Each structure stands twice: as structure tokens, then as C-alpha cells.
Amino acid sequence: MLSGYTFNMLIDTGASLTAFDLSRIRQVFPDNKIAPYKSNFTGIGNARAEIFETEIEEIWMGTMQLENSKVLLLELASINSAYATYDLHRIDGVIGGDWLIKFNAKIDYKEQTLQLER
């Protein structure tokens, strides 16, 4: 949960970094400073993408909190358009390995569960 808004996030064990939809973040945090991401980055689907970053003061995942987190921002409109074709929910971001490590994630593929700890 960000600033009282619920975000629909996709867990991507193959993504090294967590990223949010640029348009959604601009909607929820219109005053946040957004800067170009200075490192090389290959976006979703191996496409080169224009990437930005911002800092979010408080992020909640269930009862777990992250404070002053730098997050990546990219446009997810094309992904959400493809998802809509298959009647899948739109996503507001992708949880990558950086957050899975921060939350000591344990994934049980057989039981289809995700356990987070701090």
C-alpha cells in the first residue's frame, strides 16, 4: 500500500529490481521528484525502456513496511494492454529480487505460497 492506495503488483523472480508504473506513481505522488535512472537497464521483455527513479517515503506489503525506498519507474501500458487481451488484472508494478531479499522471501512453488519476514 502506498499513501493509502492499493497497488496490484506482479512478483517476478527473474527481475533483479522492483519497478512501478510511471503513470500510476505520477497519479498518486504528483509532487514526487522523478529523475532519469542513470544505469543501463533492459526492461520487461528485454526491450530498452526509458527508466526513471523516485523515492517513496513509506511502502507497506501487508504488515511489513519499507521506508525511504528508491524505486524504478517505467511505463507499463503495453504490458497492461496485453494483459487486458487475456482478461488479466492490470499491474501497477513488479516486485523484483531486491525486495524479495529485503523481505527474506520464501517461495514454495509446490504449495504456491510466499512467506515474507523482516
pLDDT of 47 reads 56
pLDDT of 41 reads 62
Instruction: Report residues of the chain scoring pLDDT below 70.
Output: 1, 40-49
pLDDT of 44 reads 56
pLDDT of 32 reads 86
Note whether residue 96 is domain-resident: yes
Bridging pattern class, strands 64-74 and 19-21: parallel
Note whether residue 3 is domain-resident: no
Q: pLDDT per residue over 95-118, tens digit each?
A: 999 999 999 999 999 999 999 887
Read off the CATH number of the domain in which 73 is found. 2.40.70.10
Note whether residue 88 is domain-resident: yes
pLDDT of 59 reads 87
Note whether residue 4 is domain-resident: no
**10 and 80 Cβ atoms separated by less than 8 Å:** no
pLDDT of 8 reads 94
Note whether residue 2 is domain-resident: no
Determine the structural domain holding residue 15 and report its residue range: 9-115
Q: How many domains does the chain have?
A: 1
